[in-house]
Amino acid sequence: MSRAVVLLSGGLDSATALAVAREEGYETYALSVRYGQRHEAELEAAARVAAALGAERHLVVGVDLGAIGGSALTGEIEVPKDVPLAEIGAEIPVTYVPARNTVFLSLALGWAEVLDAEDVFLGVTAVDYSGYPDCRPEYIRAYEAMANLATKAAVEGRQRLRIHTPLIELDKAAIIRLGTGLGVDYGLTSSCYDPAADGSPCGRCDACLLRREGFRQAGLEDPLRYPG
């Protein structure tokens, strides 16, 4: 059974990516990152999702991206609320975290080397979040090319890293349908950028708005409860 490292934020997309990796027959190693995000509730969600989807291990690695700054998700900038759906993703939002996926993939690369794994799953989508540069296919391919020059295992011919992005061409509704078919319990996930202290979603940040619209379009009920 081949091992795969799955980057698992605890949100809807990465939970679906984990379910896809399992469906494809991989033994999964879920990797979450505590990076100073204000929505740390997602790490508890990640632990629940990893357990529910039978990950072999769930590792949380700390990286102090807050020290670098530059994002509403780690800093003092306010998380925008009630942005009209048509405007979300039209430009790169203040919730963009500089080099986040690059940092996350680098940690996944290191763990993959230690685990003798050749496969990394990343739940990015180029559809809803077209504003995030590090969610685009050309970025993923360039990362893969770099990674295959980076590690001892690659240089010694024991590793040929592949980055799987099974959601990259799917919109939120399609992702929700896919994951529902694979048995993902989206009630365990957390998408909100600015949750309450008990982890419940605000319902109004970009991530909540896209999620709610996705469930609406998929014709399914979001198991999470929103205020108001």
Interface positions with a second copy (CB under 8 A): 59-65, 67-70, 92, 96-103, 105-107, 109-111, 113-114, 133-134, 136, 138-139, 142-143, 145-147, 149-152, 154-156
Write down the least CB distance from residue 87 to a second copy, Å: 17
Amino acid identity of residue 197, one-letter, is A
What DSSP assignment string belongs to 164-191?
Answer: E-TTTT--HHHHHHHHHHTT--GGG---
Measured CA to CA, the distance from residue 161 to residue 148 in angstroms comes to: 6
Which of 114/196 has CB closer to a second copy?
114
Which of 148/200 has CB closer to a second copy?
148
Write down the least CB distance from residue 177 to a second copy, Å: 30
Which of 2/102 has CB closer to a second copy?
102
Write down the least CB distance from residue 182 to a second copy, Å: 28
Query: What is the DSSP secondary structure assignment for residue 198, as one 8-state letter?
Result: T
Which of 3/212 has CB closer to a second copy?
3
Write down the least CB distance from residue 135 to a second copy, Å: 10
Burial 85-120 (b: 16+ CB within 10 A, else e): eeebbeeebbbbbeebbebbbbbbbebbbebebbbb
Which of 162/177 has CB closer to a second copy?
162
Measured CA to CA, the distance from residue 26 to residue 176 in angstroms comes to: 21
Residue pair 18/6 in contact by the 8 Å Cβ criterion: yes
Write down the least CB distance from residue 28 to a second copy, Å: 16
